[in-house]
Amino acid sequence: MNKKQKKMLVRIIVATVLMIALNFIPAKGATRFLLYLIPYIIIGYDILIKAIKGIKNGQAFDESLLMAIATIGAMALAIYEDGDYMEAIAVMLFYQIGEWFQSYAVGKSRRNISSLMDIRPDYANIEKNGKLEQVDPDEVGIGSVVVVQPGEKVPIDGTVVVGSSSLNTSALTGESLPREVSVGDEIISGCINITGVLKIKTSKEFGESTVSKILELVENASSRKSKSEDFITKFARIYTPVVVYSAIALAIIPPLVRMFGMGLGADWGTWIYRALTFLVISCPCALVISIPLSFFAGIGGASKEGVLVKGSNYLEILAQTKYVVFDKTGTLTQGVFEVNGVHHNKMEEKMLLEYAALVESASSHPISKSLQHAYGKEIDRSRVTDIQEISGNGVTAKVDGTTVAAGNAKLMKKLGIKYMECHDVGTIIHMAVNEEYAGHIIISDIVKPHSKEAIAALKAAGVEKTIILTGDSKRVADQVAGYLGLDEVYSELLPADKVSKVEELLSLKLDKAKLAFVGDGINDAPVLTRADIGIAMGAMGSDAAIEAADVVLMDDDPLKIVKAIKISRKCLRIVHQNIWFAIGIKLICLVLGAIGIANMWLAIFADVGVMIIAILNAIRALFTKKL
């Protein structure tokens, strides 16, 4: 509990004790009123101040005004009829208990999200003259070497250049098992170093590192409202003034009718009491508080599992997802390509690999990296000139003045070079040297361990179609899709083709069904934006993909997609339960209050009781382990 919550709890306890104690004091008249006024002021002074401020600011119609009118009116009636002051104090007391529950619940949800703030590093260690100097992470430039000792947070994304260690990534990914890293491994900021000392060469500035991106996403998540939240906000703006005017009408019209001889057997005091009861019952606290809290708790629960949702509107869309479209490389597969075959034609294998590695040296694509890795020597880029990348086809360049082309069959056809067909499974890189076919290199990707399980789990969760879009050859795409159990396959697509295909799928689906696209690369950003909801692999995904996506999976595990959908559906179920429960109970109690059956104690239940039940129900969205 924070200081404000502790202070409120003390006020609740003091007011409760005084209210009970006053029942045993035989006071009458003004003395009795003044004694009961003490616990009323203790528990309700802030509500009265809010109501006055609301009237001054032109925003009078809120729950504070309803509580103020109802309790002041009840106190006035008790004075007029020498009645019981307990009801007025009880209304304010139980309302404040409900507010305390709401504050505690929001705090718990916020702590789940704010626990991510612990990943923010306070400093970075730079080695100078044999000593470690702590500097602000913002001052560390790209290419600097930072030292991370056991127990410290990795301050900036980079590559390990010295040392090996275990990393605690739970704050980022929700995964409790440590990750082992050694020289050459990429490492993201926000992880906690557990064992050995690491030296990391930074690849980004602090403002562009993973930890900064995550914190920015978390801080902005609550600003994007769902349709349900927008509806409740608009509903409350109209509902509250209508309730106030209805209560005034209920207090005035029946006694006036009686005065004019219409035979309604009730006096002013009875109808004013019913109007005050009506006001307490009608307070929209349960809806106004529990609906945003449900979404907030859902976002908090998801973040605890390593799934960052950028807003409650995306949580709502995710719950309606019936079509999941995947990019292949880095999403369902590891994006770790290995050369597992070289077929050469009148050229030595080593020479063919050398040409391939050099001509692809300017590219950061995983396939290019695998060629460079297979070459096994340091790349001398000064040997390569006139590099020209042909989108969706390959690369041409001059290596030591020799014209070299590396790419798929489309590139060979484009250059008018007769090539050898290859039916091996994998990505085929055809090579041409001096406009003559020199052979081809076979590169294979590795399917992620949980991809097959994730596809099966999505179908079990009610996803109607799972689809793969890839630039790979039909043969490779069909093999991966068949192994994983995907419903549809679209291969040999350029980045623009992926956008067109998603637009086509969007036009064919049912209106209420939503389409999610899952990707990780720079070329996935346009598709992530175009889909109903974009899901990016965050651990090793590109910055562009993370920026464009609506949901970010922090450990690149496709099983987290299923977890995210289940969390969103649970959250939406809770929202709908709270809406129907709150409205249903209030309508019943409003009718009972208007006809005089419901008293102020039932009104307290209809307001505060329903609010507490709705809040406790909303908190369930935080718990996701069994989903």
| pLDDT in the model for residue 170 | 62
pLDDT tens-digit map of 424-456: 667 788 999 998 898 888 887 778 888 899 999
Consecutive H or E run containing 163: none
pLDDT tens-digit map of 195-209: 888 999 998 888 777
| pLDDT in the model for residue 120 | 64
Alpha helices in 451-494 (DSSP H): 451-460, 474-484
Q: In the chain, what percentage of residues exceed pLDDT 70?
A: 84
Q: What's the rounded mean pLDDT across residues 1-11? A: 81
Question: What is the reported pTM?
Answer: 0.63
Q: How far apart are CA 67 and CA 48, in angstroms?
A: 8
pLDDT tens-digit map of 341-363: 888 777 888 888 999 999 888 77
Predicted confidence band of residue 467 (pLDDT cuts 50, 70, 90): very high
- Decide: 548 and 605 in contact? Cβ < 8 Å: no
Q: What's the rounded mean pLDDT across residues 283-305? A: 76
Predicted confidence band of residue 115 (pLDDT cuts 50, 70, 90): low
Domains in the chain (CATH in brackets) are 3-114+223-296+570-622 (no CATH), 312-334+447-549 (3.40.50.1000), 338-444 (3.40.1110.10)
- Range among 237-251, 255-269, 560-574 with highest mean pLDDT value: 560-574
574: nearest Cα among 534, 623, 522? 623
| pLDDT in the model for residue 588 | 84
| pLDDT in the model for residue 215 | 59
Residue 384, Cβ neighbours under 10 Å: how many?
A: 20
Q: What's the rounded mean pLDDT across residues 599-626? A: 76
Structure-token match 């907030």, residue found: 296
Q: How far apart are CA 582 and CA 618, in angstroms?
A: 13
| pLDDT in the model for residue 252 | 81
pLDDT tens-digit map of 371-410: 888 888 888 888 989 888 887 788 999 999 999 999 888 8
DSSP characters over 391-454: TTTEEEEEETTEEEEEE-HHHHHHHT-------SSSEEEEEEETTEEEEEEEEE--B-TTHHHH
- Decide: 323 and 505 in contact? Cβ < 8 Å: yes
Alpha helices in 461-599 (DSSP H): 474-484, 495-508, 525-530, 543-548, 559-594
Instruction: Supply angle C-alpha 75, 90, 41, rounded to 5.
Output: 60
Q: What's the rounded mean pLDDT across residues 558-576? A: 89
Is 550 tagged catalytic? no
Q: What's the rounded mean pLDDT across residues 198-225? A: 70
Q: In the chain, what percentage of residues exceed pLDDT 90?
A: 9
Which position among 327, 524, 550, 555 bears the catalytic label? Answer: 327
Residue 561, pLDDT above cutoff 60: yes
**Chain centre distance of CA 293:** 14
